[in-house]
Amino acid sequence: MLYVIIALIIVVLLLVVTNIRIVPQSQAFILERLGGYLTTWQVGLHVKLPLIDRIANKVSLKERVLDFKPQPVITKDNVTMMIDTVIYFQITDPKLYTYGVENPMNAIENLSATSLRNIIGELDLDGTLTSRDVINTRMRSILDEATDPWGIKVNRVEVKNIIPPESIQEAMEKQMRAERERRESILIAEGQKQSAILVAEGKKASVILEAEGQKESAIRKAEGEAEAILALQKATAEGLAMIKAVGMDEAVLKLRGLETFEKVADGQATKIIIPSDLQDMSGLVTSISELAKK
């Protein structure tokens, strides 16, 4: 009898130990009793009844990432392209996640594909290529609202890649090449224009400086000539004043003029024109000579 009791105690202990569960951080366990939802176990130590309770699901509460395969979509202008999206989501209600929808990941993938087709169908090719933020925002809003009954919170949706057809890619590359060549031509033309402007401004400045130099030189030359004339007039005036101061009369002045005429006559000139006043002066000289002989 003792052995039976010991065996029963061991069996009970084994049943208790095997039904002890520890829920780790960022996880939640869904507990069912007799096939129906009982409770949600959070972080900590829990014990379930053997053969009656069972753990229906273990749910991770961490933020997860779903990277779906590129989806074929058609734009408003009938261009078919492939778009790859990435969804960041988090389970906020483990009970709704467990009982809300069958295969939640597959449901999110299909919902993402249909929502993406509806959004891209309202945009043309250029709008699709330049409106990633708009697509991300609308996708997140649609998915978050649709997955709320499933206990899922969609935090972000990102368009990972947009792959247009090869013909469109070639056309875009040609367009970009033409745009780069146009910008290069504009830059070269702007450089040449700037260079021509600088050269013209340099020539203009050089001509202005040269004209100012000539002007300054002419002014200095005129000032020099004026100073020379002024000095000559001043010297002449001073000479006349000196002559007047020593009492030289008109006869003496005429005599000095005759001496000057004599020096001129010593030259190679063959014809000399004698002014009338000097002719009168010659008579005066003759009279003086005669008086000297007596």
Q: Let me know whether 179 and 104 are in one domain.
A: no
**Predicted pLDDT of residue 87:** 92
Same domain, 234 and 255: no
Q: Which residues contact 66 (CB under 8 A, 6 or more apart)?
A: 86, 87, 89, 105, 108, 109, 112
Question: Does any domain span residue 257?
Answer: yes
Same domain, 255 and 283: yes
Q: Which residues contact 70 (CB under 8 A, 6 or more apart)?
A: 82, 83, 84, 161, 163
Same domain for 97 and 176, yes or no, is no
| 72 falls within a domain | yes
* Residue whose C-alpha is closest to residue 161's, from 267, 68, 278, 280: 68
- Indicate which CATH number applies to the domain containing 125: 3.30.479.30
Q: Do 140 and 93 belong to one domain? A: yes
Q: What is the pLDDT of residue 170?
A: 76
Tokens for 162? 């947009």
Residue 270, class by beta-carbon neighbours within 10 Å (0-12 exposed, 13-18 middle, 19+ buried)?
exposed
Domain boundary among 118, 145, 164: 164
Domain co-membership, 25 together with 71? no
- Whether 231 is in a domain gets the answer yes
**Domain coverage including residue 278:** 249-264+274-294
Does the residue 269 lie in any domain?
A: no
Would you give per-residue pLDDT tens digits along the chain (294 residues)? 777 788 888 877 787 778 888 899 989 999 999 888 999 999 999 888 888 889 999 999 999 998 888 888 888 888 888 888 899 999 999 999 999 888 888 899 889 989 898 998 888 888 888 888 888 999 999 999 999 999 999 999 988 888 887 777 677 777 778 888 888 888 888 888 888 888 888 888 888 888 888 888 888 888 888 888 887 778 777 766 776 666 555 555 555 555 555 555 555 555 555 555 545 555 544 544 444 444
Residue 37 maps to a domain: yes
* Amino acid in the structure at residue 145: E
CA atoms within 13 A on the CB side of 31: 20
- 51 shares its domain with 69: no
Residue 261 CB neighbours (<10 A)? 15
Residue at 25 is within a domain? yes
Domain finish residue from 21, 45, 60:
60
Q: How far apart are CA 101 and CA 282, in angstroms?
A: 152
Centroid of chain to Cα 5: 88
Pair 69, 157 in one domain: yes
- Tokens found for residue 12: 């009970």
pTM score of the predicted model: 0.56
Q: What is the pLDDT of residue 243?
A: 62
46 and 80 part of one domain: no
CA within 13 Å, CB half, 249: 1
- Total domains present in the chain: 4
* Pair (144, 201) in one structural domain: no
Task: Using the 3D structure, point to which of 33, 60, 87 is the last residue of a domain.
Answer: 60
Q: Are residues 253 and 242 in the same domain?
A: no
The structure tokens listed for 179 are: 């745009």
Residues 6+ apart with CB under 8 A from 132: 159, 162
In a domain, 190, yes or no: yes
Check whether residue 171 and residue 154 sit in a common domain. Answer: no
Instruction: Examine residue 155 and state whether it is found in any structural domain, yes or no.
Output: yes
